[in-house]
Chain A
Amino acid sequence: MRDRVYRTEAVIIRRSDVGEADRVLTILTPLGKQRVVARGARKISSRLAGHIELFTHATLMLAIGRNLHIVTQSNPLERFDRLRTDLERIGAAYYAAELVDRLVEEADENRRAFALLLATLRSLDAGAAADLTLRAYELHLLDALGYRPQLHICAVCGELLTESTDRFSASAGGAVCPRCAIADRQAPPMSLPAFKLLRYLQAQPPEIAGDLRISPATRAEAERLMRAYLHQILERDLRSLAFLEDVRLTQHLAEPDHADTTGMRRFAQGDNDDSN
C-alpha cells in the first residue's frame, strides 16, 4: 500500500478516546475542520501524546487512511502553557474551541476562523480578560462565517442606528431601532454601554479586547446578549457553558468579594429574564 503523507498546520479543538489506546482528534486547519486519529496516543510512552494535547497549535504530519487520516508526527508551534494552569482560561479555551467546532463544517475552508481561534488562544494565554476576549472572538467569528449580528443598522428595517437604540433581538439578527422595537415586544432591552461595547468589539481587531476597562454589569450584559444570539443560531447552548458557570460559582465561593464574579452571578441569575 502506498503511504501518502502530507503536512498541515492545525489547532486541536476536540479529543476523545477510541479503542485500546487511540485518540480521535478534531482539528481546525486553515482549510477547515477535520477528524483524524492518533494511534497509541493514550500510552504514557507515546512520543505523540504530549504533542497533541487539546488547544495545541502544531504542524501535523498526516497519512491518508482508509477512513480517518492518521497523525504520524506532531511538531508543536505553540502550547499555551499558561492558559493550561488556570481554570477560567481552560474554560474559555473549551468554549472557543467548541464554538468554532459547532459553527464550521468539515472541510469548509476558512482561514479567518483559524486565525481568530489562534489569536484568542494567544490572548487567553497572555492573561487578557477572558470574557472580553471571548466576546470579541464571538463577534469576529460570526462575521467570518456569515452570521454577523447587525449593530450599525436596524436588523428589521435597515435604518441607521442611533444612541437611542435600546433593544437587541436575537431572532431579528441584531439591534433594532426604537420604531421597530415597538412592533417586536419580544426583543430584550440593551443598555447603551453594552450596545457601544459590542459595536466597538465588532469594529476593532480582536486583540484589543483584553485591554478595555468595562464595568462588570456591562460585561455580563454583553455576554447575555451574545448568548441569546448564539442560541438562536446554534439552537442550543454550548456544552462548555455549564463548565464555565461551575468554575465561576466555585470562584465566587472562594472569593466572596470578587467584583467580577458578582457581575457574572447576576448574569447567571438574569438568565430567566430572556424567556419572559
Chain B
Amino acid sequence: MSETITIWIDGKEIKAEKGANLLKVARDNGFDIPGLCFHEKVTPTGDCRLCMVKIEGRPAMTPSCLVKIEDGMKVTAFDKQLEDTRAMLVDVLLSEHNDDCITCEKDGDCQLQDLAFRYGMDTPKRMFDTVWQEIHQSPDSSSPVLLYDSSKCIKCERCVKACYEIQGKGVLSMASRGIHSHVVAGTASWEGSECDGCGECVQACPVGALMEKPVYGGKVKAKDIQRKAVTTCPYCGVGCQLELWIKDGKIAKVKGAEGVPNLGSSCVKGRFGLDFVNHPDRLKKPLIRKDGKLVEVEWKEAIDFTAKRFAEIKKANGPDALAGLASARCTNEENFLFQKFMRSVIGTNNVDHCARLCHASTVAGLANTLGSGAMTNSAAELEYADVIIVIGSNTTETHPVIATFIKKAVLFHGAKLIVIDPRKIDLVKYATLWLRQRNGTDIAVANGLMNAMLANGWENKAFIEANTENFEALKEMIKKYDPKMVEGITAIPAADLIEAARLYATAAKASIVYSMGITQHAHGTDNVKSMSNLALISGQIGRESTGVNPLRGQGNVQGACDMGALPNVYSGYQKVDDPAAKAKFAEAWKQPNLSDKVGLTVTEVLRDAHAGKVKGLYIMGENPMMSDPDLNHVKDCLEHVDFLVVQDIFLTQTANLADVVFPAASFVEKAGTYTNTERRVMAMVKILEVPGEARDDAMIIQDLANALGQNWKYDSAADILREVNALTPSYGGITTERIAAGEKLQWPCPNAQHGGTKFLHKEGKFTRGKGLFCALEHVPTKEMPDKEYPFVLSTGRNLFRYHTDTMSGRTVALPQYAPDAYVEMCEADCVILGVGHGDKVRVTSRRGTIDIGIRLTDKVIKGSCFIPFHYKEAAANLLTNGAIDPVAKIPEFKACAVRIEKIKS
C-alpha cells in the first residue's frame, strides 16, 4: 500500500509517496539537483556525491539519491555551502576527465559538460591540474559495436548496473582501485567477454566514455541530429520500440525507447543492425527475367506483365493453380491486403507464410485447447512470476529482451526458473532446475510432470472442475507415465521431474514459455497441447504472470497470422469454410465468389509446385530458399513453378529464381502496424525515403489488383487498417487514431472504448468456453539416429544473425560476432572423430551435405549437434527433414539424423 506523505524542499510543500527516492521527487518537482551517478532504472550507487542535500535533524550533508523520503522531512536542496561543495566536486571531476569536447561525439548531450557549464568551470577558474593523463589506459575498441574510453569515464557505475540490473547479464565490473579504477568487460576486454552488444550500457552512460561505434557511418554529435522518431524494430517478435536518430536522411544512431514492451532496452540487432536499409544491394527497380537473365524494367511493364501472367494461369488452370506467400516482416496492412488479393482477386485460399515453419502448431494447438493461438500473457509479466518454465526456447538469443525479464525475475524477485532443453542454453545459468530431455521427448516430459502432480495432489482440483473438460481421459492415459518410466524415455532423473512438477504446480503464479523447440516437430501440435495441459491441470492460466506463452519468432508473425495470411482463415481467425464469415467478407469486398475451400500451406504449395499443380507463385518478403527444410527439394520445387514473382528489399536466394522481382520498401520507409508476440499492435512509422523506385508493398499489391480489373483506392495504411477494424472483431478498437495517440493495445480489443487485453482467459473463462485437456501419447521422432546417421541434428538461431540473414548479413556490426557457420559439438564426440575446435567437418543427412567448422561446446550432449540456419555458405536446411506435423503441417526442423565426418586436409 502506498502512502502519500508531505515533505518540504527549500520551503516548498511536496506530496509524494512514502519511501520514494528523494532525488527523484525533488527533480520531479522542479528542483534541479545535480547528480551524475543516479539513474532511475538502477539501484542508486551514491558515487558522485553531487546530489548532496541537508536534511533537518541529520548530521551534515547526505546524498539525496540514497534517501527514501519520510513524512515531514525538511530538506535544503540549495544554499551557498551546498552549491560551493557541488562546484568543487565538479571541479574535481573535471580534473579526472579528458574534456576534449571539441572532438567528442557526446558534445551537447553530456551531463558532465552541462554541469561544468552550469557551475561556470572556465579553465582559469579551475583549481586542480588535470590528472587523467597519468591514469589513462588505451581505449577498449575490441567490441564490434561500442567503444570505451577510460579517460572520459567518471566511474559512476551506471553501465555496470545497467548491464546487471536491466539486462540481467553482469558482464561489466569496476577493475583496479582508486584513481586507476575503470570499467572492464569480463576479465580483460570486451572482445573476450560475454558481452552480446545490447548497448544498454551505452545508453546509460552520462558522458562520452561508452559510445556506440559508428556502425551507421561516421561519428555524429547529438546536436547535429535533425530528427528523432520512434518505430518498431523489424527483427524479432518482441517488437522493441526504437528511437531512430536521423541525419541527412539516414539512420545515425538508435536508442531503445521507453515504455512497453521493451522498457528502453533492445538487443544488438535493433540498436546496431539497421544499416541494411542503406545497403547498396537494395533493389531499386523492378526486374523481369528476359532470356534467362533478370533485367531492370519500368514499373508499368512489370505490373502489367505480372497481371497478365496471373490472369492467364487462372484462366487456364483455375485460381487454385496460383498461390501466395505473405510475410512476417511486412505490416499488418500489407498482409491483410495480400490475403485479400489472393482471396478476392485471384479467388484462392492458397495463402500462407512462414508462420507455418515456426508456430503453425501453436496456432493450431492452442486454438484447439484454449480458443486462441497466441501468448496468453504479456512479456513484462514474466518478471513477476514465481516460477517460470522455459521449454524449447533459447530465449536469450531468440527473444533477448524477453530473456531480460526472465533473468530479472530470477535475480531480483526470487523467481525459480526451470529450463527444459536438451541444449545447455544461456538461461541454464539462471535456472533452479535444468531438465535435459532427449530431443523430441517433450510430450513424455509433460505427461511425467502431470503424473507427478496427480500422484502428490498438486493439481488444482477446483480449477479443473470448474473450467476444463476431458480431464478423465487425460488422467487415465497419463497413469503409466510415472517419473521412472519417463526417465527411461527422456533421460530426466525422476527426482528432478517431481521437483519441477512441485515447483510449477504449487507456485502462486507460474508461467510457461516455449518456442520452436516445442513447435518444430512432426508432432508439434501435440507438443503445444501438452503445454496447455500443464497450465490447465495446475490452474496456472488466466491470471497475471501465468499462462502459456509461445514466443513468436519474426517481427510480425503474430500480425500476419492475425491478418489471415493463412490458408484456412480470414483476418481474426474467421474460418474460410464458415458460411457466415464468407458472407461477411464477400459483402465487404464485393466479391461473391470467395472460395470456401481451405488452401494450401507453404509445405503443400511446394509439394504441389513440384507436381505441377501450382503454376504461379507470388512471394512477398519471404525466402524459402533458406528458411525451409530440405533446400535441395525446395529449389527443385520452385524451379517447377511456371511463373514466380518475388517482392523483396534484396535479391534473395529465392528472388534469384524469380521471373519478376518487385523492389519493396523496408520497414523505415513505410507506415503501418506490427503485432508483437504478446498480441500488442504497434506503429511502423515512415521515417526515410525509399531507395530508387522501390515501393510500399501495399501499393504494389494494389497496382496488381487494379491491373487485374479492380478499383482499389487505398491511399494509406490507415485506409487499410480501417477495413481491418471493420472486419476483424479482435482488432475492432485498434484504430489508427489510437495508435497515433500512443496507445499500444493488445488484442482482443473489440471497440474504441476497450482498453485491450493484457492476459487472456481471465478467471478460467476460455475463449473456446472450457479449457480442453488432450490425452497425448509420446511419439518418437520421425528420423531416429541409426548406424549410418548416428547424430541427432537440431537447428535454430543465434543472437547475431537473423533468420535467413538477408538483413543481418548486410550490416557492419552483426556478422563480426558470429562470422562463420558452425556446428556445435561436445568434447566427447570430437575426441571420437579426432577433430577439434575450428576444424572443418562434413555433415550429411539423407537429403544433403554441407561442410562446416566445429564449435566445441558443452551446450550439446553426446550424440547430438546443433547448426544455426542463417548461413548461406553452409545452409542447415539442406540437411533438415521435410517430415511434417499432420495438423499444422510444420516441418521437423528440430530433429533429423546426420553423419559427421572429418574432412581430410
> Do these two chains really belong together in a complex?
no
Which residues of A pack against B, CB within 8 Å?
none
Which residues of B are at the interface with A, using a C-beta cutoff of 8 A?
A: none
